């Protein structure tokens, strides 16, 4: 006998397995246990009509009749009896999985640019307000890497300045504004002042070797330089904070840093607040809209309660940052 199939012969029908809706399976199990659709609905927290629709969908998906209604309640058909053991197993596995996730104690993973920056102080302050909470600090490349890390769930939250428009699945809320300070050597003409007006920096060159091209923080300082006629020198290499502070203290260069940045101490370096207006670096808290880590909710409430909005009378922000940091700090799905 030949096994060759002619091109015109009809092709065998391939039956695809049904993708079961767990809600319909759960409704079926509930009816078998409670016998009445109305009581099963009460158990599930839905209406009797909704139970009927779920059973009908399940029977349609399986292509068999599972239940028959009688005066004494729903009765299993032969197919229903054969399916019941498997239905209970499916529901049981799903319940175990949910219980495992809900009871799982996993640390909150928070992305920061650098452990010397103000974002770590915010996290530490939050940690002191809660009990029995584990937090893992992860350093990265700012917003550029945080977007992907949040999307893939490798971190739960990230602190960064938001530049541009966020993806639909990311949520941003203003976290804090940090005043900029000037760094000069101890014998610099400005070193003895308690504060420096922004206008006095006009025409000067400020050295910031850590301003990586394309980063959100480099963009901020470019806005600042353009607004007040200050040249931002990003020439490197960037050997780290110790080298940066030592170079300021022993050379002719001046630099900028955040007020709360934990700079290495150096006997020949002086840090002076910049005022009138005070340039404020904006930092936001970002997270994925589908991330339901219980500690994340506590962190967002802590950020909301401690946020202080932008004051245009005394502070300066680039135009793209002003709207988000002037309004209330509740999460926003998109930030420009």
Amino acid 15: pLDDT: 44
Compute the distance between CA of residue 113 and CA of residue 141 in angstroms, rounded to an integer.
6
Rounded to two decimals, the pTM is: 0.70
Amino acid 279: pLDDT: 98
Compute the distance between CA of residue 100 and CA of residue 173 in angstroms, rounded to an integer.
30
Q: Which domains are seen in the chain, by residue range?
A: 22-103 (1.10.10.10), 109-175+283-307 (3.40.190.10), 177-279 (3.40.190.10)
What are the pLDDT tens digits along the chain (336 aa)? 444 555 455 555 444 556 889 999 999 999 998 889 999 999 899 999 999 999 999 999 999 999 998 888 899 999 999 999 999 889 888 877 776 665 456 799 999 999 999 999 999 999 999 988 999 999 999 998 999 999 988 999 999 999 888 888 999 999 999 999 999 999 999 999 999 999 999 999 999 999 999 999 999 999 999 999 999 999 989 999 999 999 999 989 999 999 999 999 999 999 999 999 999 999 999 999 999 898 999 999 999 999 999 999 999 999 999 999 997 666 554 444
In terms of Cβ atoms closer than 10 Å to its own Cβ (0-12, 13-18, 19+), residue 294 is exposed
325's enclosing H/E stretch is helix 319-326
**Contact call for residues 327 and 276 (beta carbons, < 8 A):** no
Amino acid 167: pLDDT: 85
Q: Is 212 helix (H, G, I), strand (E, B) or coil?
A: coil
Q: Is 82 helix (H, G, I), strand (E, B) or coil?
A: helix
> What tokens does 332 get?
């926003």
Amino acid 135: pLDDT: 95
Q: Residue 233, Cβ neighbours under 10 Å: how many?
A: 15
Compute the distance between CA of residue 205 and CA of residue 229 in angstroms, rounded to an integer.
9
Measuring CA to CA, how many Å separate 72 from each of 35, 37, 50, 68, 188?
Answer: 8, 12, 20, 11, 95
């Amino acid at each position: 006998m030949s096994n060759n199939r002619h091109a015109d012969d009809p092709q065998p029908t391939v039956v695809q397995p049904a993708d079961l809706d767990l809600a319909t399976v759960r409704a079926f199990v509930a009816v078998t246990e409670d016998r009445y659709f109305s009581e099963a609905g009460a158990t599930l927290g839905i209406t009797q009509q909704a139970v009927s629709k779920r059973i009908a969908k399940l029977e349609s998906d399986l292509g068999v009749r599972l239940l028959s209604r009688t005066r004494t309640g729903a009765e299993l058909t032969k197919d229903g009896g054969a399916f019941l053991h498997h239905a209970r197993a499916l529901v049981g596995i799903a319940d175990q999985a949910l219980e495992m996730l809900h009871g799982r104690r996993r640390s909150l993973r928070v992305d920061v640019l650098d452990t010397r920056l103000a974002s770590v102080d915010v996290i530490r302050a939050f940690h002191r307000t809660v009990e029995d909470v584990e937090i893992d600090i992860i350093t990265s490349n700012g917003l550029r890497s945080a977007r992907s890390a949040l999307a893939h769930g490798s971190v739960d939250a990230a602190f960064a300045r938001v530049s541009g428009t966020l993806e639909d699945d990311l949520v941003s809320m203003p976290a804090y504004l940090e005043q900029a300070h000037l760094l000069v050597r101890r014998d610099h003409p400005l070193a003895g002042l308690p504060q420096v007006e922004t206008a006095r920096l006009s025409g000067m060159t400020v050295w910031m070797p850590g301003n990586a091209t394309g980063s959100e923080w480099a963009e901020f300082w470019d806005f600042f330089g353009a607004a007040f006629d200050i040249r931002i020198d990003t020439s490197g290499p960037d050997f780290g904070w110790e080298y940066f502070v030592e170079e300021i203290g022993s050379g002719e260069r001046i630099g900028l840093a955040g007020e709360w940045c934990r700079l290495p101490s150096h006997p020949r370096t002086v840090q002076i607040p910049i005022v009138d207006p005070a340039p404020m670096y904006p930092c936001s808290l970002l997270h994925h809209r589908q991330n339901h880590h219980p500690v994340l909710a506590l962190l967002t409430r802590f950020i909301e309660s401690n946020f202080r909005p932008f004051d245009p009378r005394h502070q300066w922000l680039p135009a793209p940052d002003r709207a988000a940091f002037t309004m209330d700090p509740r999460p926003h799905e998109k930030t420009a």
